Structures are given as structure tokens and as C-alpha cells.
Amino acid sequence: MDRRDVLADAATTVLAQAGSRGLTHRAVDAAAGLAEGTSSYYFRTRSALLQACVERMAARTLEEMASGTPAIRSVDALVEACVAIVGRWVAKDHERLLARWELALESTRRPELETALRTTGALIRERVADTLAGLGIAEPRRRADDLVACLDGLAFDQLAGAGRPPRDDAGLRASITDVVRGFTA
């Protein structure tokens, strides 16, 4: 793995564990197990480090979408893929999810980060829209935005919900089915 990717992954871990304020070059070096000063050599500024996190997380997500998901040929397969995605985010990739939320909040104060998030998010939504178009769903671009927002909201509710117990797989499936079926009504 490229050293820049190792550092971006370590920065993602730091964001998830310590929040945006805990993201320092020194903390990233420690998380990566590299000599002090390594991350600042590759990413001179904190902004560059944040940008690297956004780009690395988007690249990983796009790789997973390309390789980890079988071709979706039905609405039922789409629902199952979405349930699996939210389940994986919450169970296995919760650090990346927490880091993404930290970056989203940080982007409200950093226009350059907002631009990076919008650009990478558009690539992901484009892939989702292509899947929806392949299923014959009307207005696939708009509905891709809605589906991604729904999945993000469900993941947020699962991981950081406001006082209610998380949904089980059946509950997630029911919620996602309602949304996806609404697209085909």
C-alpha cells in the first residue's frame, strides 16, 4: 500500500477516535506507526491531511462498489445490497463512518473541504444513479441522492441514534424496502 494511503487511513482512524480537534500530524504518525514528521512530509498542512482523508475514503468506497457488490438486476437485489451496506458500515466500517461525519461537520467551516466532499460524493451518487437507471427507475439522479441520504440517515440512526435501540436486519430491510419501493410506485 502507498504510504500516502497508509497515512490517510491512519488519519481516518484518528478522526473517528479523537474527532476533528484530535487530528494532528503527530497523532496520525502515531496511529500509522511511523516516525514523527512523516505525515507532515506528505501532507504539509492540516487541510491537505483532511483532503487526503476525503479522497481515500471515496476511493475505498468506489472500489467496494465496483468489486464487492454483485450486479444488481432487481429491486429486491438493490434492497439486499443496501441492507448489507448499512450493516457493514455500522458493524465493520464504523470508524470510516464516524470520520466521514467529522469531515462533513468540518466542511461547514472549510469551503475547500466542502468542495472535495461534494466532488467525491457526486462520483458515488453517479454510480448509484447508474444502478437505478439500469433497473428502469425514473429520475435516477434525483433518486440516487434520496437513496444515499436515506442510507446515511439510517446508518447515523443505527450508530448514533437519539435514544432508541438500533434496528435489526429486518427493521433495516423494511425501512429500505419502503424507500426503494417508493421509487418504483
CA separation for the pair 100, 102 (Å, rounded): 5
pLDDT tens, N- to C-terminus, the chain (185 residues) = 799 999 999 999 999 999 999 999 999 999 999 999 999 999 999 999 999 999 999 888 888 877 756 678 899 999 998 998 888 888 888 899 999 999 999 999 999 899 989 998 999 999 999 999 999 999 999 999 999 999 999 999 888 877 678 888 898 899 999 988 888 77
Contact by Cβ (8 Å): 108, 114: yes
Domain boundaries, the chain: 56-184
Q: 3-class SS at 99? A: helix
Cβ contacts of 69 within 8 Å, gap of 6 or more: 81
Q: According to the model, what pLDDT value does residue 68 have?
A: 57
Q: According to the model, what pLDDT value does residue 185 have?
A: 72
CA separation for the pair 13, 19 (Å, rounded): 9
Q: According to the model, what pLDDT value does residue 69 have?
A: 60
Look-up of cell digits 514523527: 36
Domain 56-184 has CATH 1.10.357.10: yes
Nearest Cα residue to 151 out of 84, 58, 60 = 84
Q: According to the model, what pLDDT value does residue 9 have?
A: 96
User: Hey, what's the cell of 93?
Assistant: 466500517
CA separation for the pair 73, 70 (Å, rounded): 9
Cβ contacts of 11 within 8 Å, gap of 6 or more: 23, 28, 31, 39, 49, 50, 52, 53, 99
Per-residue pLDDT reduced to its tens digit, 69-87: 667 889 999 999 899 888 8
Q: According to the model, what pLDDT value does residue 1 have?
A: 78
